Chain A
Amino acid sequence: MSSPVHAVHHAPHSFFRKWIFSMDHKVIGIQYYLLGLFSVFLGMSLSLLMRYHMVNPNVAVSWFGKLWPTAAAGGIMTPELYLSLMTMHGTIMVFFVLTTVPQSGFGNYFLPIQIGAEDMAFPVLNMMSFWTTFLALIVMVAAFFVQGGAPLSGWTAYPPLSGAGPLTGPGEGLGQTLWILSIAIFCGASLMGAINFIATTVDLRCKGMTLMRMPLTCWTWLVTAILGLLGFAVLLSAGVLLILDRTVGTSFFLPAGMIINDHIIANHKGGSPLLWQHLFWFFGHPEVYIAILPGMGVTSQLLSTFSRKPIFGYRAMVYAILSIGFLGFLVWGHHMFMSGMNPYSAMAFATLTMCIGVPSAIKTFNWIGTLWGGKIHFDTAMLFALGFVSLFVTGGVSGIFLGQPALDLYFHDTYFVVGHFHMIMGVAAIFGMFAGTFYWFPKMFGKMMNEKLGKLHFYLTFIGVYCIFTPMHYVGIAGNPRRYADFTQVEYLGKLIPVHQFMTYAAFFTAAVQLIFLFNLIWSWWKGPKAAVNPWNCTTLEWTVPSPPPHDNFGGVHPVVYRGAYEYSVPGATADFIMQSDPAPVVSGD
């Protein structure tokens, strides 16, 4: 190897070192992606079971009875089983999909390449981070299989329900303990990941890659890492206190005088369930941005690339990302308007919540400004980025409603909230992942994905998710409570049952459509046409290296960056894009 700069780092040869216990950020990124792919199908299956039960609460399904001989005896789900499905759906989706894929999956793969580094700053830590996440998933899924099954307390695990032990319900024994344990393990994994992301971004940028030349994806991964670092540390502390309340009889969150299922609880006193809510939501609100920020980064990158225009207001975008990250830590109280908080506190939290609307609107405005007058290419990746903008606006607008204490008191425990957060945190973030998949698949696997299948998948999914989640706002306004396993017997909700049936059909339809994506993914990986180095005519560094990139990303050459990440349609330039690594002088064509 006669490299001009230094020796090429060769990939390890053994199967285990290369694919299982790999320290290569690209392999780890794919591992995270696959973990998320497994989790998203698991989480989706749980939601289908819930939607089925909601509209058919009295229909016996024989294989329910086989799966859960006690919780679904005779094939009819108990309300507790429904709650455990809800808990696991939320937990798996939030932690193992929304937190994992956009950041740890795509971020791991593309952050080092986009900033011109050979790998993450701490490859061993990176490997440990993935396997710790994997362990957390195993422990979480194990909760299904222990006595009593999975916990009932939702992904927010509010005490006393989550703290008082098996008396409170079938999943509240070992299942809930495993849940907390899994989350604590996950916190550790996230901290390791955050250390890597921050150190890599700060210290391993190549020559010329100043902060203000970084692709916006890198900015969102950096800010997400900071949010994860500060948020998961607090969740870890809260989890430690909760597990102590459950196992050694402390009273951090458990008050005196509880009577649970006719039993007087005498060994706890003085604790505060609200304390858990504060600690949880101090993590929980930034978690929303952990889920959505990387999607924003991918969307910015794609809107610019596929409309062949520079991103509108790059600096404003960076400052908006930073201020969303900062404000995200000051608004946790808007999840607790119902908790009896002082109205003045509620007003402060509401005002700060409205403030987040400003950077969010800046981002949306700049996305539209980027599209304005561009030569838009409607590739599948671009369609999903546009879908992201649509869902982000839809979900954001209902957030303005919920940020008002007076309105939230009414909406809080209704389907309005379910519709809101699924739009903005769930589906928008997942559209960001789809966009990232179609955009980066050629680089990751060296093959192109099928555009026809991709577009079919996009349009059906886009229609499908709106059909599932828009009616939720309507039934919510009509007063339909959430977290109920069965409301067929409630008189005032009777007329809403057809709407629920529609949502259930839409959910099954949308889930079935995802098989097109899965097929496209596997088929393209296996038989797709070979991808060129830069199939989308992009400017960023990952498109300067072969698809897939070599083990050390740049084949022993240190890249040098001469310009920002979004130089599209530069007047006088020979092509309609200039690579970041392109040193050639631009002929002035005025």
Chain B
Amino acid sequence: MGMAASITHDAVQGPPPPPIDIGWGGGGEPGGRGADRRASFTGLFVLLAASTMVFAAFTSAFVVRRGLSDMNDWVSIHKPPILFVNTAILLVSSFILDLSRRALKAGARSSFNLWWTIATALGILFLAGQAVAWYQLKQAGVYISTNPASSFFYVLTASHAFHLLGGVAALVYVDIQALRLRLGPAKRTAIDVSAIFWHFLDGLWVYLMILFYVWG
């Protein structure tokens, strides 16, 4: 009996007051745009956590593998200077993407379309720049199996580029919707989600650049 009496407060005291929305999504009105939008953001952040783990694993492998290289196994590669140009392009694209979101908030649809298209184009330009960097490395005789420094350079840049392909696809999708004037409130979530993903890839690239130039 002693245990049964302590089951829960509201079982004994009668029906509880209307459930309190404790935040964190729960307990609110189900269905509808609000839940979809919240779920999209949650899904996005879960995806970012997964991507972060992928690169954290690569980084730990990088650090361990570098620490093991006691026989001049790890030879720093000469990195193509175009990487800095690419970095600048990616940073600018992120910046313009946010100009574009601000334009939308201010109701300036046409400047939103313009800025977003420019940012998308810069994203594609970044990918092209990365391809040039790989080509220059190949011309210099630096391949993926040349030494661990080059192995990690190719693995990390390719993994980043793979993520970026997804990001560009999202930007292009939004852009097509925008240019066809189908940018209803439902698409605002797509805009925000793809922009946050893009900023994440931008930050990730800056991190990788630091990794390459400090330890690579």
Q: Which of A246-254, A419-427, A526-534 contacts B (4 or more CB under 8 A)?
A: A246-254
Tell me whether A251 and B151 are in contact in the complex, defined as CB-CB below 8 angstroms, given that A279-B57, A570-B4 are known contacts. yes
| CB–CB B42/A203 < 8 A | yes
Q: How far is the CA of A234 from the CA of B30 in the complex (A)?
A: 34
Closest Cβ–Cβ distance, residue B27 to chain A (whole Å): 5
Residue from the list B26, B47, B49, B57 in contact with A238, Cβ < 8 A: B57
Closest Cβ–Cβ distance, residue B24 to chain A (whole Å): 7
Give chain B residues whose Cβ lies under 8 Å from the Cβ of A234.
53-54, 56-57
Residue from the list A117, A230, A563 in contact with B10, Cβ < 8 A: A563
- Proximity string of chain A (548-563) to chain B, C-beta cutoff 8 Å, 1 when within and 0 when not: 0000000000101111
Say whether A275 faces chain B, with CB atoms less than 8 Å apart: yes
Q: Which of B67-75, B81-89, B103-111 contacts A (4 or more CB under 8 A)?
A: B67-75
| CB–CB A270/B50 < 8 A | no
| CB–CB B151/A122 < 8 A | no
Q: Which A residue sits closest to B16, measured CB to CB?
A: A562
Q: How far is the CA of A287 from the CA of B8 in the complex (A)?
A: 35
Q: How far is the CA of A152 from the CA of B16 in the complex (A)?
A: 60
| CB–CB A200/B39 < 8 A | yes
Q: Which of B58-66, B113-121, B125-133 contacts A (4 or more CB under 8 A)?
A: B58-66
Q: Which of A547-581 contact B (CB under 8 A)?
A: 558, 560-564, 567, 569-573, 578
Say whether A1 faces chain B, with CB atoms less than 8 Å apart: no
Say whether B140 faces chain A, with CB atoms less than 8 Å apart: no
Give chain A residues whose Cβ lies under 8 Å from the Cβ of B38.
202-203
Residue from the list B43, B46, B65 in contact with A252, Cβ < 8 A: B65
Give chain B residues whose Cβ lies under 8 Å from the Cβ of A195.
43, 46-47, 50
| CB–CB B30/A250 < 8 A | no
Q: How many chain B residues have a CB neighbour from A under 8 Å? A: 56
| CB–CB A244/B49 < 8 A | no
Give chain B residues whose Cβ lies under 8 Å from the Cβ of A209.
26-27
Q: How far is the CA of A202 from the CA of B65 in the complex (A)?
A: 38
Q: How far is the CA of A191 from the CA of B64 in the complex (A)?
A: 26
Say whether A121 faces chain B, with CB atoms less than 8 Å apart: yes
Q: Which of B1-55 contact A (CB under 8 A)?
A: 1, 3-5, 7-8, 10-12, 14-16, 19-20, 22, 24-31, 35-36, 38-40, 42-43, 46-47, 49-51, 53-55
Q: How far is the CA of A191 from the CA of B49 in the complex (A)?
A: 10
Say whether B148 faces chain A, with CB atoms less than 8 Å apart: yes
| CB–CB B46/A194 < 8 A | yes
Residue from the list A194, A240, A561, A584 in contact with B159, Cβ < 8 A: A240
Q: How far is the CA of A126 from the CA of B23 in the complex (A)?
A: 26
Say whether A14 faces chain B, with CB atoms less than 8 Å apart: no
| CB–CB A117/B27 < 8 A | no
Give chain B residues whose Cβ lies under 8 Å from the Cβ of A398.
none
| CB–CB B4/A569 < 8 A | yes
Q: Which of A1-47 contact B (CB under 8 A)?
A: 6
Say whether B169 faces chain A, with CB atoms less than 8 Å apart: no
| CB–CB B30/A586 < 8 A | no
Tell me whether A270 and B73 are in contact in the complex, defined as CB-CB below 8 angstroms, given that A200-B39, A203-B42 are known contacts. yes
Give chain B residues whose Cβ lies under 8 Å from the Cβ of A241.
58, 61, 155
| CB–CB A252/B148 < 8 A | yes
Q: Which B residue sits closest to A249, measured CB to CB?
A: B145
| CB–CB A270/B69 < 8 A | yes
Q: How far is the CA of A234 from the CA of B52 in the complex (A)?
A: 10
Closest Cβ–Cβ distance, residue A38 to chain B (whole Å): 28
Closest Cβ–Cβ distance, residue A69 to chain B (whole Å): 36
| CB–CB B7/A310 < 8 A | yes
Say whether A141 faces chain B, with CB atoms less than 8 Å apart: no
Give chain B residues whose Cβ lies under 8 Å from the Cβ of A117.
30
Say whether B144 faces chain A, with CB atoms less than 8 Å apart: yes
Q: How far is the CA of A367 from the CA of B170 in the complex (A)?
A: 48
Closest Cβ–Cβ distance, residue B20 to chain A (whole Å): 8
Give chain B's interface secondary structure class. Answer: helix
| CB–CB B30/A199 < 8 A | no
| CB–CB A204/B35 < 8 A | yes
Say whether A206 faces chain B, with CB atoms less than 8 Å apart: yes
Q: How far is the CA of A269 from the CA of B151 in the complex (A)?
A: 13
| CB–CB B16/A203 < 8 A | no
Residue from the list A230, A269, A270, A578 in contact with B53, Cβ < 8 A: A230
Q: How far is the CA of A204 from the CA of B31 in the complex (A)?
A: 7
Closest Cβ–Cβ distance, residue B170 to chain A (whole Å): 14
Say whether A236 faces chain B, with CB atoms less than 8 Å apart: yes
Residue from the list A204, A208, A240, A573 in contact with B19, Cβ < 8 A: A208
| CB–CB A571/B5 < 8 A | yes
Tell me whether A252 and B151 are in contact in the complex, defined as CB-CB below 8 angstroms, given that A208-B27, A558-B31, A563-B10 are known contacts. yes
Closest Cβ–Cβ distance, residue B44 to chain A (whole Å): 9
Query: Considering residues A249, A250, A585, which has the most beta carbons from chain B within 10 angstroms of its beta carbon?
Result: A250
Closest Cβ–Cβ distance, residue B53 to chain A (whole Å): 4
Say whether A62 faces chain B, with CB atoms less than 8 Å apart: no
Give chain B residues whose Cβ lies under 8 Å from the Cβ of A269.
71, 73
Give chain A residues whose Cβ lies under 8 Å from the Cβ of B145.
248-251, 267
Residue from the list A202, A244, A267, A560 in contact with B25, Cβ < 8 A: A202
Residue from the list B8, B25, B43, B57 in contact with A205, Cβ < 8 A: B25
Q: Which A residue sits closest to B73, measured CB to CB?
A: A270
| CB–CB A571/B15 < 8 A | no
Residue from the list B11, B39, B55, B65 in contact with A271, Cβ < 8 A: B65
Give chain A residues whose Cβ lies under 8 Å from the Cβ of B65.
252, 270-272, 275
Q: Which B residue sits closest to A191, measured CB to CB?
A: B50
| CB–CB A237/B35 < 8 A | no
| CB–CB A199/B11 < 8 A | no
| CB–CB B24/A211 < 8 A | yes
Give chain B residues whose Cβ lies under 8 Å from the Cβ of A125.
43
Q: How far is the CA of A587 from the CA of B69 in the complex (A)?
A: 74
Q: Which A residue sits closest to B8, measured CB to CB?
A: A564
Tell me whether A199 and B71 are in contact in the complex, defined as CB-CB below 8 angstroms, given that A233-B57, A252-B148, A569-B4 are known contacts. no
Q: Which B residue sits closest to A584, measured CB to CB?
A: B15
Tell me whether A272 and B64 are in contact in the complex, defined as CB-CB below 8 angstroms, given that A191-B50, A211-B22, A211-B24 are known contacts. yes
**Inter-chain pairs besides A208-B19, A278-B60, 14 sampled, C-beta below 8 Å:** A116-B30, A121-B36, A191-B47, A203-B35, A203-B38, A207-B30, A210-B20, A244-B144, A278-B64, A279-B60, A310-B4, A571-B4, A586-B12, A586-B14
Report which A residues bind B (CB closer than 8 A).
6, 116-118, 121-122, 125, 191, 194-196, 198-200, 202-211, 229-230, 232-234, 236-238, 240-241, 244, 248-252, 267, 269-272, 275, 278-279, 282, 309-310, 312, 373, 558, 560-564, 567, 569-573, 578, 583-586, 588
Q: Can you list 28 pairs linking A and B with CB atoms under 8 Å apart? A: A117-B30, A121-B39, A122-B39, A195-B47, A195-B50, A196-B43, A198-B42, A199-B46, A202-B38, A203-B26, A204-B30, A205-B30, A207-B29, A210-B19, A210-B26, A211-B24, A229-B50, A232-B50, A241-B155, A251-B73, A251-B151, A272-B64, A279-B61, A562-B10, A567-B7, A567-B11, A570-B4, A571-B5
Report which B residues bind A (CB closer than 8 A).
1, 3-5, 7-8, 10-12, 14-16, 19-20, 22, 24-31, 35-36, 38-40, 42-43, 46-47, 49-51, 53-58, 60-61, 64-65, 68-69, 71, 73-74, 144-145, 148, 151, 155, 159
3 tightest A-B CB contacts, nearest first: A233-B53, A270-B73, A237-B57
